[in-house]
């Protein structure tokens, strides 16, 4: 899944690039409008994230030129402007969606997924009631967690954290992604709450078992995985 990120603000580039890579996306970055047109017309991307305020061409001009060139890739436009007229102008230039800064990564990810579903004909994932990795089972409806025949008591936040990790089986989740999905933070507030809850969760679901499921990927985050 390849995404073209067109953005000249290095802070946003690093934030978005880090988060999307943790979700399994391949991210290419263009830092001005001309580079965006070159990459956008030459490469096959599933989504283009396009900033409105660029140092040469603005986002609307880039969007219009991509559409004229026959590029049909979904375009999500980013901007600090949130007036109705700005949104209408952006959409009329060929953008598929419009998002104002600052934004939560969780919302950005959700909008990308919606755009990709539209492109793929509206296919959606089935609503899963029970998650399982090896002998660990989490029931979404009853909120019961079992490892083998043992019932594991979790706090509501521990349950949410485990569900978050199990739903992304095998994928590394960054601390930022976990904070946004489980605690609702849009940015990292310099807290170690994720690490604290990971230790508590690991003690309950892993410490007494030979097969360890909750894994730390140093420098990136955490994942649930099993052979």
Half-sphere exposure of 83 (CA within 13 A, CB side): 3
What pLDDT sits at residue 224? Answer: 92
What pLDDT sits at residue 78? Answer: 87
Name, in order, each residue with C-beta under 8 angstroms of 42's C-beta and a sequence gap of 6 or more. none
Domain locations in the chain as residue ranges = 2-119, 130-224
CB-based burial label for 73 (10 Å; 0-12, 13-18, 19+): buried
Q: Are 123 and 117 in contact (CB under 8 A)?
A: yes
What ranges make up the beta strands (E) of the chain? 2-6, 26-30, 47-51, 75-79, 97-100, 130-133, 136-139, 145-147, 150-152, 214-217, 221-224
Name, in order, each residue with C-beta under 8 angstroms of 125's C-beta and a sequence gap of 6 or more. none
CA separation for the pair 59, 57 (Å, rounded): 7
Torsion sign (Cα): 26, 31, 33, 37: negative
Torsion sign (Cα): 16, 103, 168, 174: positive
What pLDDT sits at residue 208? Answer: 92
What are the residues facing 131 on neighbouring strands?
138
CATH architecture of the domain formed by 130-224: Orthogonal Bundle (1.10)
Q: What is the CATH number of domain 2-119?
A: 3.40.50.2300
Angstrom distances, CA of residue 23 to CA of 119, 155, 188, 223: 19, 26, 17, 11
DSSP strand pairing (2-6 vs 47-51): parallel
What pLDDT sits at residue 125? Answer: 47
Q: Nearest 5°: phi and psi at 119?
A: -65, -30
CA separation for the pair 21, 132 (Å, rounded): 25
What pLDDT sits at residue 53? Answer: 84
Of 95, 100, 101, residue with least CA distance to 73: 95
pTM (2 d.p.): 0.56
**Can you give the pLDDT of all 227 residues of the chain as single tens digits?**
789 999 998 998 998 888 888 787 889 999 999 999 999 998 788 899 999 888 888 888 999 999 988 888 999 998 877 667 766 776 778 888 888 888 888 888 888 988 887 766 554 444 567 899 999 999 988 889 999 999 999 998 899 899 989 988 888 888 888 887 787 665 555 568 889 999 999 999 999 999 999 999 988 889 999 87
What pLDDT sits at residue 24? Answer: 79
């Amino acid at each position: 899944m390849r995404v073209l990120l067109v953005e000249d603000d290095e802070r946003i580039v690093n934030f978005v690039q880090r988060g999307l890579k943790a979700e399994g996306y391949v991210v290419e970055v263009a830092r001005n409008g001309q580079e965006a047109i070159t990459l956008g017309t030459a490469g096959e991307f599933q989504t283009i994230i396009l900033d409105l305020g660029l140092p040469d061409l603005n986002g609307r001009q880039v969007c219009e030129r991509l559409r004229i060139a026959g590029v049909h890739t979904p375009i999500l436009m980013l901007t600090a402007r949130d007036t109705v007229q700005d949104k209408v102008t952006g959409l009329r230039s060929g953008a598929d969606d419009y998002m104002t800064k600052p934004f939560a990564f969780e919302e950005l990810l959700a909008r990308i997924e919606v755009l990709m579903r539209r492109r793929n004909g509206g296919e959606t994932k089935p609503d899963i009631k029970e998650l399982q990795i090896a002998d660990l089972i989490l029931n979404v409806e009853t909120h019961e967690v079992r490892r083998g025949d043992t019932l594991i008591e979790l706090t509501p936040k521990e349950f949410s954290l485990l569900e978050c990790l199990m739903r992304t089986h095998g994928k590394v989740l960054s601390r930022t992604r976990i904070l946004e999905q489980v605690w609702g933070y849009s940015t990292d507030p310099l807290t170690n709450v994720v690490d604290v809850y990971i230790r508590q969760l690991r003690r309950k679901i892993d410490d007494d078992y030979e097969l360890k499921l909750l894994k730390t990927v140093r420098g990136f985050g955490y994942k649930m995985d099993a052979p």
